[in-house]
Structure 1
Amino acid sequence: MANTTAEETVDLPQMLPTVSPRPQHLQPESERGTPPAGALEAENTVEADTDDGASSQADETWDEGLDSRSVGNHSASTSLSNSVRDYVFENTRRYHKYMEGRYLMPNDEPEQEREDMKHAMCVNVMDGKLHCAPLESPQKIIDIGTGTGIWAIDSEFSGYSVLSPIHWLTRPKVGDEFPEAEVVGIDLSPIQPTWIPPNVRFIVDDAEAEWVWPANSVDFVHARHMCMAIKNWTQLLAQTYHSLKPGGWVELQELRFHLQCDDGTMAGPEQYGFGRFVDLCMAGFRSFGIDPLAIEKNPELLRASGFENVVEKVWKVPIGTWPRDQKLKTIGLYNRSMLVDALQAVSMAPLTRGLKWSASEVEVFLIDVRKSLMDSSIHSYLSFHVVHGQKPGSV
């Protein structure tokens, strides 16, 4: 099979939701370098809404009820030993105990709910899809860094759906495309639901440790939002390649934390609070050997690892409700709400453990960062990258 590479820039989905009340049963860069050669950028231009007054008023209305803490709730599995289910508490947040310190972000309920909101946002950005790889009747699927397990459960593989406010309104279908597939989620934290579909299971392990899956045994490996966790992508992809069957697919989905702006409304990080936040967090993660912007090299790494038919897609994801287009306003609203809730979770450990800030210094710093995120005169955005590749050979 010939080794081919394709690059594609994708517009945001055609159908996005308007927010309505939740149904009752759901209630309770210090181095801003130029991307490496060949890195794909989203090329479509997002037009800003020129009605500043309306935008400001819309912000107040759109933000109402969209705190990601309202998305849902998950409880740890009672089938695991107490040692694995133990936690570490630090600076008001809860972290994993198993392989303590390996992952720098918390695993408490607010973070779980924020991750579920991010899942819903990304599914909407991808026009309701959970993957882009062209799968054909996969029998075994691995979800790396499964977190709450929402991707594994709310998938056409399992035939089940985890309902969140966004999903409930926008999920185009609850499919059963691959009901015979076994879906295995792996994570350091046992924070998945106690109820799961019969063809889904979860294991507690480190994705960068030696894999338990033998050679040529897996059809699809999915990893999302792992850029702030993985230290050695080359090793991870080597294990992925080893375990995949010939013809199997790997897909990496990442929100790239590199701020961009097309119309000059965003100042540098010295003047823009969220820009300084991104730079400092990048420095904090790098002090632990983690480069969150390593995802820019994912297409190149896939090819270097032996994968072919590599395709990358990129979407612009606005921060806030500044776009003129109504559907982009919706995506931007969800993104901003998710980012506001992420500020403490993303920064506390990297800044206190890595850069030796005090917790109070972090909290004071975040006051200005929150204000900057709510400024609709700044037309900034992030980009969402999805790249997949295929192991050579026949399925």
Structure 2
Amino acid sequence: MAAQPGSSPRSQSSFGSPGIAASPQDVADAAAQARTEIEAHEDFSDAESGYNSDDNGSMTTSVSSSVRDYNFENGRRYHKFCEGRYIFPNDEQEQDREDMKHAMTVAVCGDKLHLAPIGSDPSRVLDLGTGTGIWAVDMGDTYPSAEIVGVDLSPIQPSFVPPNVRFLVDDIESEWVYSAPFDLIHLRAMAPAVKDWPKVLASALHWLTPNGYIEIQELDFVPKTDDNSIPPDWAYLKYTAAVRDGLKEFGSDFHIGGKVPEKLRAAGFKNITTHEIKVPIGPWAKNQLLRTAGLYMQAAVIDAFNMGLNGPITKGLGWSREEAEVLCAEARKAVRNPKVHAYYTMWVVYGQK
């Protein structure tokens, strides 16, 4: 049994939904409905699509309207399955932004997909919130003998993937059901998506092999500077504060990065290792690698203004569209100012079971 690939021929970010955040009961009902539909479509099979069940088929949703449908608002497309779980879109524009962020993250991590020392021959790897699926696909190429599983709310990953890579459609805050544990569980840029971190981390701890690793990569979206070049009235600083406050209304912590080490310790992980990496916003760095990463980061930031306007600011804070557009216009201009040497901090944290 397998779900067929999404309509887009390329990879694409998952998540995203306008409107009011779903209640826990709404999410549970949607997950139960999806699992019921799995059982009704057990005869479907399409191994080349990359969508396969985890042996017993209990995790992957089937080809059904509840999973395949999308919401559309203000010219953007949002996920339908577990509607309201995540307020950002999953359309072509967001795919491009996610792929830029992937390239930036790999670059600042020294051209590495992960920093956890999992060895050269992992058996199973789980990517939570796989989005475009690009990290999972790259891991499949890097570790051809490993089984790579990507999980997301939307079946919008590539149709053709390495034979050792497959994608499941599910809500990671629901019960996990897999056939075997994993050597590495990976999460990246999940701050706007995860509401119940203790629950997700408890599930991860349970589904890791003994001494297996969890790795979390998160940007802390607080612009900083080492040369005092950020003016007190910098519009982009005002914008990030508004987005942070708006996301709180949806139950999301925009600044989870620096809190990850303590959350892993509280969940029971050991040997926790933390890396703090500066990611420039714009091409101001002298180092060529950081300059390139800064260009990616700046492009991703600019492309995200529309999402901030349509989600956290207008829906979360209740601003009028006109007020939000004025702030976004000012922030867009501010983030292009080459005299401001701002950066984000990326937290790469891993721990062991």
TM-score normalised over the length of structure 2: 0.80
Cα displacement (A) at 1:227 = 0.8
Q: Kindly report which structure 2 residues correspond to 1:321-332, keeping only aligned pairs within 5 A, or say none.
A: 321-332=283-294
CA contact (8 A) 1:266 1:272 kept: yes
CA contact (8 A) 1:186 1:204 kept: yes
Match of residue 216, structure 2, among 234, 243, 252? 252
Cα displacement (A) at 1:296 = 1.4
Cα displacement (A) at 1:346 = 3.6
CA contact (8 A) 2:108 2:290 kept: no
Give SS of 1:293's match: coil
Cα displacement (A) at 1:366 = 1.2
CA contact (8 A) 1:308 1:390 kept: yes
Alignment partner of 1:117 is 2:100: yes
Q: Kindly report which structure 2 residues correspond to 1:198-347, keeping only aligned pairs within 5 A, or say none.
A: 198-213=163-178, 217-268=181-232, 271-347=233-309
Letter in 2 for 1:199: N
Relative distance call for 1:347 and 1:139 in structure 2 (3 A) is farther
Letter in 1 for 2:203: Q
Q: Which residue of 1 aligns with 2:317?
A: 355
Q: Which residue of 2 aligns with 1:40?
A: none
CA distance in 2 between partners of 1:106 and 1:383 (Å): 24
CA contact (8 A) 2:224 2:343 kept: yes
Letter in 2 for 1:140: R
Cα displacement (A) at 1:217 = 1.6
Cα displacement (A) at 1:153 = 0.4
Q: Which residue of 2 aligns with 1:74?
A: 11
Cα displacement (A) at 1:286 = 0.5
CA contact (8 A) 1:257 1:293 kept: yes
CA contact (8 A) 1:73 1:113 kept: no
CA distance in 1 between partners of 2:333 and 2:72 (Å): 28
CA contact (8 A) 1:91 1:359 kept: no
Relative distance call for 1:347 and 1:249 in structure 2 (3 A) is farther
Alignment partner of 1:189 is 2:154: yes
CA contact (8 A) 1:315 1:384 kept: yes
Single out whichever of 342-351 and 368-377 deviates more from structure 2. Answer: 342-351
Cα displacement (A) at 1:323 = 2.3
1:158-192 Cα deviation digits (max 9, x unpaired): 12xxxxxxxxxxxxxxx4xx322111111111110
Runs (5+) with no aligned partner, structure 2: 1-8, 15-48, 52-61
Give identity over the alignment, percent: 48
Letter in 2 for 1:254: E
Q: Which residue of 1 aligns with 2:114?
A: 131
Give SS of 2:218's match: strand
* Aligned residue pairs, count: 298
Letter in 1 for 2:167: F
Alignment partner of 1:380 is 2:312: no
Match of residue 99, structure 1, among 69, 74, 82? 82
Relative distance call for 1:243 and 1:326 in structure 2 (3 A) is closer
CA distance in 2 between partners of 1:212 and 1:359 (Å): 42
Q: Which residue of 1 aligns with 2:56?
A: none
Letter in 2 for 1:106: P
Cα displacement (A) at 1:361 = 3.3
Q: Which residue of 2 aligns with 1:108?
A: 91
Cα displacement (A) at 1:344 = 1.3
CA distance in 2 between partners of 1:295 and 1:321 (Å): 23
Q: Kindly report which structure 2 residues correspond to 1:47-66, keeping only aligned pairs within 5 A, or say none.
A: none
1:218-241 Cα deviation digits (max 9, x unpaired): 211000000111111111111100
Match of residue 142, structure 1, among 104, 126, 139? 126
- Indicate the structure whose relative CO is greater, using CA pairs within 8 Å and at least 6 residues apart: 1
Cα displacement (A) at 1:131 = 0.3
CA contact (8 A) 2:70 2:80 kept: yes
Give SS of 2:90's match: coil
Single out whichever of 119-128 and 355-364 deviates more from structure 2. Answer: 355-364
Q: Which residue of 2 aligns with 1:44?
A: none
Runs (5+) with no aligned partner, structure 1: 1-71, 160-174
CA distance in 1 between partners of 2:321 and 2:146 (Å): 45
CA distance in 1 between partners of 2:82 and 2:189 (Å): 19
Relative distance call for 1:374 and 1:92 in structure 2 (3 A) is same
1:326-358 Cα deviation digits (max 9, x unpaired): 332222112111111111124421112211123
Give SS of 2:240's match: helix
Q: Which residue of 2 aligns with 1:89?
A: 72
Letter in 1 for 2:151: I
Give SS of 2:168's match: strand
Letter in 2 for 1:213: Y
TM-score normalised over the length of structure 1: 0.72
Letter in 2 for 1:187: D
Cα displacement (A) at 1:125 = 0.7
CA distance in 2 between partners of 1:189 and 1:301 (Å): 27
